[in-house]
Amino acid sequence: MEVITKIDEMRTRVLSVKDRKRSIGFVPTMGALHNGHLSLMRRAREENDELVVSIYLNPTQFDKNDDFENYPRQLDKDIEIIRNENADAVFTPCTEEMYPDGFCTHVTQDKLTDALCGRVRPGHFNGVTTIVTKLFNIIEPDRAYFGQKDYQQCAVIKRLVTDMNMDVDIQVCPTVREEDGLAFSSRNKRLNPEERQNALCIYGSLLKAGDMFASDIRETKEIIEEMISIIKKTKHTKIDYISIVNANTLEDLSSINGKALVAVAIWIGNTRLIDNIILE
């Protein structure tokens, strides 16, 4: 497996792969890899001739400096994990490489970025659309793999690819959970044992929404109130948002009559976690 830090070197490799008519499956990550990332890599490995994984902790998508500073970092361990998944290349550029002096072009998107996390994390999705555009231009993947845990990110990237006529097939993979239901997240590494236990209220609240929907309750206000009460019963939690939205437009719903996304962002102590389920 090649470990590549320079854009020029990555491009040279991509050119040679394309010359040999081999398909490229790409998994972008910010490192601190876990089973969720592994599921993306395995799917990409199966469906493509070449697997390229990137590890880049993109500063421009962090709206809070301390979140960026405290984000778990374990580059050497991550490279070994990726090697074990039989990847062909890992791309780990530094920030001077991705945002050299004079950098001043950004990719922005309206509408889908106004909802959910976009509402509470100003600038976050501009950081995402800009870095994903750059990575797609450098790696030229045939397929790129993203996790449903970041549902809004998937929706934004699918829209980006459509609107900007990018020739990349976006694949969304199911959320991978720990045995007790907590979605794998790099930020889980920051939870202490008590917080780890408290974090179960997140999936608990989503399951409750699923149960209510299964019992034919369609009014979103009623479902959200139940979810709020589950979170509030758990110590050291704070609700960033609990929303039920149209799964395509991400617009708030008052009642569910099509494919709906139940999405939550909850602070567990000083760690903000997101999760979601689809109801249809």
Give the footprint of ligand AMP on this chain (CB under 6 A).
Answer: 29-30, 36-37, 39-40, 146-147, 149-150, 173, 175-176, 183-186
Rounded to a whole number of angstroms, the CA Rg of the chain reads 19
DSSP character at residue 123? T
74 annotated binding-site participant: no
- 134 labelled as ligand-binding? no
Q: How far is the CB of 278 from ligand AMP (least distance, A)?
A: 14
Structure tokens at 262: 């139940």
Residue 238 DSSP label: E
**Least distance (Å) between residue 227 CB and ligand AMP:** 20
Query: Which DSSP state fits 236?
Result: T
Single out the catalytic residue among 37, 106, 124, 236.
Answer: 37
Q: How far is the CB of 124 from ligand AMP (least distance, A)?
A: 12
Please check whether residue 206 is in contact with residue 262, taking contact to mean a CB–CB distance below 8 angstroms: yes
102 annotated to bind ligand = no
Q: Half-sphere exposure of 70 toward its Cβ, with a 13 Å CA cutoff?
A: 13
Rounded CA-CA distance 31/86 in Å is 17
Residue 265 burial class via C-beta count within 10 angstroms: exposed 0-12, middle 13-18, buried 19 and up: buried
Least separation in angstroms between residue 29's CB and ligand AMP is 4
Distance CA 146, CA 148 (A): 7
**CB 22, min distance to ligand AMP, A:** 23
Whichever of 154 and 217 has its CB closer to ligand AMP, that residue is 154
Strands of 237-246's sheet in order across:
237-246, 260-268, 271-279
Residue 37 annotated to the active site: yes
The response to whether 171 counts as a known ligand-binding position is: no
Residue nearest to ligand AMP (CB): 147
Is 37 annotated as ligand-binding? Answer: yes
Q: Which is nearer to ligand AMP, 176 or 228 (CB)?
A: 176
Is residue 31 annotated as involved in ligand binding?
yes
By beta-carbon proximity to ligand AMP, the closer residue of 18 and 42 is 42
**Residue 127 or 147 having the CB closest to ligand AMP:** 147
Question: How far separated are the first and last CA of the chain, in Å rounded?
Answer: 42
Report strand pairing: 260-268 vs 271-279.
antiparallel
- The amino acid at residue 24 is I
> Based on CB atoms, which residue is closest to ligand AMP, 62 or 213?
62
Residues with a known catalytic role: 37
Annotated binding-site residue numbers: 30-37, 61, 147-150, 153, 176, 184-187
Annotated binding-site residue numbers for ATP: 30-37, 147-150, 176, 184-187
Annotated binding-site residue numbers for beta-alanine: 61
Annotated binding-site residue numbers for (R)-pantoate: 61, 153
